[in-house]
A and B are shown apart, each in its own frame.
Chain A
């Protein structure tokens, strides 16, 4: 995402850079700030700018300086998400808060990056050091619109209409290189098929002119003619079938090859890449976009060239027979193309509307069926069924109208297509009567017109189909070309972990404009158990995601045994971390396979040991298939507690140096929690452990507790220290004691 636009000369002058001052960020704004004239800048034209230099934060409007803040006097610059818009708030060192700029959602991500950049400069100033290049914020996010043509980008980095087209086709051709033999084969088929198509009318003509109309043809000649045409027909059919088969094979291999690459790439890419996309979008790229390419290869590619070839040669032949008639037919072709285009647009619209209505109807039905119990509870059956009747009636109306239209329109279209032949017959017939043309030639001509008109309709859809394929290709190559954000550097290290963590001013947010953690700083000694406490949504799980390096920090650093996490080989890191997450995910497969997931070469003895430690061994033994028990998708045929125990066994099998427990025992009953807690207490010995729990009793073994509140660490210390502090933790402990006492007395 571009963060440094070029200012127009007028604005540049108004900005008035002083010596040694550099523009680091410059992004457009699209809403006016002044409360009394808050109008959108017409058509989002670039007239307002939000600029951050190495010294100042400046807002420019129409080449005038609207406001400027000296970053030295600022404490904080924040991009605040409003309702379908955002503002930049500047917090002065004197306690003032100023709304500096305002913008729509279109610019919010960009502005959020710049606000973060401004914050970096402020931090550098506070640390009394010059701002350096490493303070500069760089966005790796894709733009949403093409800069050249202003079209929306379909989630790609390059516009499929501008730069992307040639680029992607080149890559696609390279991919096709692997299948050169098949391509050659298909090309030969295509030329042969076209040849036969074009040969047929010539033979017909010859037969008509030299046998039928001469008056002295024999039955033998008739047999020969039938034999030849029949053979050609059979060969043509065979060729067509074989070509289609080749195309299907080619399409399948190409889409398989792409799918394989995509799947591998997605596995390698970071979670943030996956999370940045809407759920299902990546799935679409793997399944739908590759299918699109397969279909294109099967249905369009094979016919495209042969049809074009046939059409061109047919046209040449027509011209050679009669220039006048050909030109007349061409005029007619134009008329038909225009008419069908217009009508197709209309048809597309009305059927799209029908589809929308159907969709609406369906979702309504689904809504009601899913919420049946609520509808009945509130006695609203009458009203809901009335609503539904209304909707089906509307749908039926549209459907009826559309079908009627179709029934009328289609014959008209066929008539128009056929009408070209009448024109040809009229003029050609005149020529034949005058002796300027033979009957055979006329027949030949008419057949060629058929070749020209037949695929016309199909050809008008060609640009759309090609564009669709290019878009799909673009979306696929976009993923394939994505550099893994968390790629291991060439010089990254691999070493046995001791487990000393150190957080230095760590900031992170899943969305640029919504920070989850800000400026988190603390140290963890090897073997220490840290309990993470705080209300939901405060960033406890996020902190754990960062420790596991599922995401990279936006700012600051996390070091493990003195080495930055980003410099540790990811595989080495992950093989030494054991994780039990809040939502226990089990793969479909046996319990054994699930426990062995982290360490596929574990012995059976090790598996049993881990299961025993997790208090899972007993219940596994009681199942008929023991450790071979099949676990359905997501582990749905096990209870929550059983799944959690398997997950714990999975986590400890590897004998990890670092243990992460995110609500690891939340789904357990008190007795098994007690048992597992004991197992965990044993496990925790000598391992660095991070544990999240709402039930504070779960954390009683923790060496230190970290209370997270308002995006940062609010309190840190041992249980007793925090109780003495009488802060948030004290409040939480009291509230839980009170609740358990209440429920105790109520029972």
Chain B
């Protein structure tokens, strides 16, 4: 009757086999550390601007690139996952540098497509007005204006002199080193830090 729905998802469990075995296999798969390296996998760009992957015999026409330590170790332990809702892990790249140059570039491209975290290089102006702060900064993506709430978690100190700023839209800006700014710029941030 109403079987026109998404019935064709990937087989969660191989039910032809004994179920116990399938369950065990799945839980083992979750635990297993599978590393992708130049030897067992090959990435290539798709026409649509995504990344395809061939691991051994298996081919994926689109994979997701997830940084596991995006702030501290962006090039290590990159998780490559299936592109659907479940986003099952295909494998980890232990260190991006170990891959061939062209492969590295492709993955970097995908990271840039997926992540948008501008780094603040220069603070031009911060103005507070009735509960909101209006920022004008120069980021590595160019000059940019954004708005944050005044108190609360708008500016968060993650560690040492490193700060994270979240604007009212949910965009994230990074200030890697407060003391890399000039004294005048730091003064403008007085209200937050």
Which A residues fall within an 8 A CB radius of B?
A: 31, 33, 35-36, 38-44, 82-85, 87, 89-90, 95-99, 102, 104-106, 108, 144-145, 151-152, 154, 349, 352-353, 356, 359, 464, 467-468, 471, 519-523, 709-716, 726-728, 730-731, 734-735, 738
Per the bound structure, the CA–CA distance linking A519 and B47 in Å amounts to 29
* Contact call A106/B169, Cβ cutoff below 8 A: yes
* Contact call A82/B85, Cβ cutoff below 8 A: no
> Which of chain B's residues have a CB closer than 8 A to the CB of A102?
113
* Contact call A714/B130, Cβ cutoff below 8 A: no
Q: Can you list 19 residue pairs at the A/B interface with Cβ under 8 Å?
A: A35-B109, A38-B112, A38-B113, A44-B145, A85-B114, A85-B171, A90-B48, A98-B47, A99-B48, A105-B171, A349-B190, A353-B190, A468-B130, A710-B9, A710-B85, A711-B85, A713-B5, A715-B7, A731-B12
Chain A CB within 8 A of B2 CB: yes
**Given A98-B48, A726-B15, 20 more contacts at CB 8 Å?**
A33-B49, A35-B49, A43-B142, A82-B114, A83-B117, A84-B170, A84-B171, A90-B48, A97-B46, A105-B167, A105-B171, A106-B167, A464-B130, A467-B130, A471-B130, A521-B5, A714-B7, A716-B1, A734-B23, A735-B19
> Which of chain B's residues have a CB closer than 8 A to the CB of A97?
46, 48, 50, 61-62
With A31-B116, A144-B169 as given contacts, are A353 and B191 in contact (CB-CB < 8 Å)?
yes
* Contact call B130/A734, Cβ cutoff below 8 A: no
- From residue B140, how far is it (CB to closest CB) to chain A in Å? 9
Chain A CB within 8 A of B20 CB: yes
Chain A CB within 8 A of B186 CB: no
* Contact call A716/B2, Cβ cutoff below 8 A: yes
- From residue A513, how far is it (CB to closest CB) to chain B in Å? 11
Residue in B closest to A471 when the chains form the complex, CB atoms: B130
A-facing residues in B74-115 (Cβ within 8 Å) = 84-86, 109-110, 112-115
- From residue B14, how far is it (CB to closest CB) to chain A in Å? 10
> Which of chain B's residues have a CB closer than 8 A to the CB of A98?
47-49
Chain B binding surface SS class: loop
Q: In the complex, which of the residues A89, A90, A712 contacts B6, with contact meaning CB atoms closer than 8 Å?
A: A712
Per the bound structure, the CA–CA distance linking A526 and B1 in Å amounts to 18
Which B residues fall within an 8 A CB radius of A?
A: 1-7, 9, 12-13, 15, 19-20, 23, 46-50, 61-62, 70, 84-86, 109-110, 112-118, 129-132, 134, 139, 141-145, 147, 151, 167-172, 190-192
Per the bound structure, the CA–CA distance linking A275 and B141 in Å amounts to 34
* Contact call A144/B23, Cβ cutoff below 8 A: no
With A84-B170, A96-B47, A710-B6 as given contacts, are A40 and B113 in contact (CB-CB < 8 Å)?
no
- From residue B15, how far is it (CB to closest CB) to chain A in Å? 5
Q: In the complex, which of the residues B6, B19, B116, B142 contacts A85, with contact meaning CB atoms closer than 8 Å?
A: B116
Q: Which 6 A-B pairs have the closest CB atoms?
A: A98-B48, A85-B116, A40-B141, A35-B109, A99-B49, A105-B170
* Contact call A714/B192, Cβ cutoff below 8 A: no
* Contact call B141/A39, Cβ cutoff below 8 A: yes
Residue in B closest to A32 when the chains form the complex, CB atoms: B141
Per the bound structure, the CA–CA distance linking A522 and B5 in Å amounts to 10
> Which of chain A's residues have a CB closer than 8 A to the CB of B139?
40
Per the bound structure, the CA–CA distance linking A521 and B167 in Å amounts to 39
> Which of chain B's residues have a CB closer than 8 A to the CB of A728?
12
Residue in A closest to B18 when the chains form the complex, CB atoms: A734
Residue in B closest to A357 when the chains form the complex, CB atoms: B193
> Which of chain A's residues have a CB closer than 8 A to the CB of B116?
31, 40, 82-85, 104
- From residue A119, how far is it (CB to closest CB) to chain B in Å? 15
* Contact call B168/A43, Cβ cutoff below 8 A: no
- From residue A192, how far is it (CB to closest CB) to chain B in Å? 35
Q: In the complex, which of the residues A36, A84, A713 contacts B109, with contact meaning CB atoms closer than 8 Å?
A: A36
The interface centre, meaning the residue of A43, A523, A731, A738 with most chain B CB atoms within 10 A of its CB, is A731
> Which of chain B's residues have a CB closer than 8 A to the CB of A523?
2
* Contact call B115/A82, Cβ cutoff below 8 A: yes
With A83-B115, A151-B132, A716-B3 as given contacts, are A735 and B144 in contact (CB-CB < 8 Å)?
no
Q: In the complex, which of the residues B2, B48, B49, B117 contacts A713, with contact meaning CB atoms closer than 8 Å?
A: B2
Per the bound structure, the CA–CA distance linking A728 and B5 in Å amounts to 14
Per the bound structure, the CA–CA distance linking A118 and B151 in Å amounts to 39
With A36-B109, A353-B191 as given contacts, are A42 and B143 in contact (CB-CB < 8 Å)?
yes
- From residue A521, how far is it (CB to closest CB) to chain B in Å? 6
Residue in B closest to A83 when the chains form the complex, CB atoms: B115
> Which of chain A's residues have a CB closer than 8 A to the CB of B132?
151-152, 154
Per the bound structure, the CA–CA distance linking A688 and B118 in Å amounts to 53
Q: In the complex, which of the residues A82, A96, A106, A711 contacts B48, with contact meaning CB atoms closer than 8 Å?
A: A96
* Contact call A738/B19, Cβ cutoff below 8 A: yes
With A106-B171, A714-B9 as given contacts, are A87 and B191 in contact (CB-CB < 8 Å)?
no
The interface centre, meaning the residue of B3, B61, B110 with most chain A CB atoms within 10 A of its CB, is B3
